[in-house]
């Protein structure tokens, strides 16, 4: 059955209103992305240097010198999953959650896994599947992650590790690559160890530690865990805004295509209606002769 021009016009109006919303959300996400992306880019050199210094010190020290460096038989594992609190960001949350499930099923099978969830989407996902997280943090990263909150989360994990209630700690999050790509990462933050340690042992030997090497490790290793948590939250938030901006841009373009298609249908329907009216008028004139 042919659709009336009135129905088509109503559909076009509805889609145009939706298009205005998606275009606005894209602009808001772009503005927020610019701010948090600048912070992320400025933070990366600091994070890289901290990794190098920590790697050099850890490689030159014995695991017995600090409890955060001790390896144990892995029975209990804490996994921190970082998602967004809001949706409309494409496959951003889906990628993290699926990667988490695959990691637990393939690498942590047979171990007791405790989840720490950051973000409402992750909490709802596991709640729907009957999984009760150990810790949940909602609405803690809006325009920018709070360093104090990252320290709070990391300190709980450190406390669990030192108290031997957990034997390993991992973070699963989306790392920002560019506006079109976010890479899901799984990073172990406890125990503190490096597979590819920086070869700076000769340099470390020339360092003078004040007040002592043990005191430096006592300050540096907890800070390393804190900064890793903050870095993951920062990268995730940057990726979230980039994913939302891309998703809203795609939605706006799709809405525009639908409007063009419906406009074409509207013009065809109107032309058909005019043609029918002309035929009716012509037929009436012929009948009156």
Q: Is residue 214 part of a domain?
A: yes
Number of domains in the chain: 1
All residues at 6 or more sequence positions from 51 whose CB lies less than 8 Å from its CB, including other chains: 194
Q: Is residue 68 part of a domain?
A: yes
**pLDDT at res. 1:** 46
Contact 77, 167 (CB under 8 A): yes
Strand, coil or helix: what is 75?
Answer: coil
Q: Is residue 20 part of a domain?
A: no
Residue 6 pLDDT > 80:
yes
Residue 230 CA to residue 155 CA, distance in Å, equals 12
Q: What percent of the chain has pLDDT over 70?
A: 94
Q: Is residue 269 part of a domain?
A: no
Pairing of strands 112-118, 135-137: parallel
Helical (H) or strand (E) element with 99 = helix 92-107
**How does pLDDT run across 203-261, given as a tens digit for each residue?**
555 667 777 778 888 899 999 999 999 999 999 999 999 999 999 999 999 999 999 99
Report in angstroms the alpha-carbon separations of 60 from 213, 226, 270.
Answer: 11, 22, 81
Report in angstroms the alpha-carbon separations of 219 from 7, 192, 199, 215.
Answer: 68, 13, 22, 6
Residue 241 CA to residue 236 CA, distance in Å, equals 9
**pLDDT at res. 2:** 59
Q: Is residue 139 part of a domain?
A: yes
Contact 104, 259 (CB under 8 A): no
Q: Is residue 266 part of a domain?
A: no
Which of 23-27, 135-139, 254-258, 269-273 is the least confident region? 269-273
**pLDDT at res. 111:** 93
Output the pTM of the full model: 0.88
Which residue, chain included where needed, has tokens 């030192």? Answer: 162
Q: Is residue 224 part of a domain?
A: yes
Edge-to-edge strands, sheet with 135-137: 135-137, 112-118, 76-82, 168-178, 181-190
Contact 78, 167 (CB under 8 A): no
**How does pLDDT run across 42-94, given as a tens digit for each residue?**
999 999 999 988 888 888 777 787 899 999 999 999 999 999 999 999 999 99
CATH number, domain at 123?
Answer: 3.40.1380.10
**pLDDT at res. 281:** 79
Q: What share of the chain is helix, strand, coil (3-state, %, to 5)?
A: 65, 15, 25
All residues at 6 or more sequence positions from 232 whose CB lies less than 8 Å from its CB, including other chains: 80, 82, 171, 173, 185, 187
Domain encompassing residue 150: 39-243
Q: Is residue 12 part of a domain?
A: no
């Amino acid at each position: 059955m042919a659709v009336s021009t009135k129905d088509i016009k109503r559909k076009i109006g509805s889609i145009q209103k939706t298009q205005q919303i998606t275009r606005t959300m894209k602009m808001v996400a772009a503005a927020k992305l610019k701010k948090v992306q600048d912070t992320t880019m400025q933070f990366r050199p600091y994070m890289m240097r901290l990794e190098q210094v920590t790697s050099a010190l850890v490689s030159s020290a014995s695991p017995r010198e600090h409890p955060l460096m001790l390896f144990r038989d892995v029975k209990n594992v804490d996994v921190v999953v970082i998602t967004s609190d809001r949706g409309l960001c494409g496959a951003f949350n889906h990628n993290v959650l699926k990667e988490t499930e695959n990691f637990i099923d393939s690498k942590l099978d047979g171990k007791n896994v405790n989840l720490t969830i950051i973000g409402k989407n992750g909490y709802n996902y596991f709640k729907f599947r009957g999984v009760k997280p150990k810790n949940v943090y909602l609405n803690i990263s809006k325009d920018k992650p709070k360093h104090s909150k990252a320290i709070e989360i990391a300190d709980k994990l450190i406390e669990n590790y030192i108290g031997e209630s957990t034997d390993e700690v991992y973070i699963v999050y989306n790392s920002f690559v560019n506006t079109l790509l976010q890479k899901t990462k799984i990073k172990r933050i406890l125990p503190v160890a490096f597979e590819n340690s920086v070869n700076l042992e000769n340099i470390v030997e020339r360092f003078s530690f004040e007040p002592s090497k043990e005191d430096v490790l006592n300050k540096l290793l907890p800070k390393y865990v804190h900064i890793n948590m903050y870095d993951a939250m920062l990268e995730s938030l940057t990726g979230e805004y980039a994913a939302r901006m891309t998703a809203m841009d795609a939605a706006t373009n799709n809405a525009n295509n639908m409007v063009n298609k419906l406009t074409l249908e509207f013009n065809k329907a109107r032309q058909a209606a005019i043609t029918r009216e002309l035929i009716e008028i012509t037929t009436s004139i012929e009948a009156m002769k």
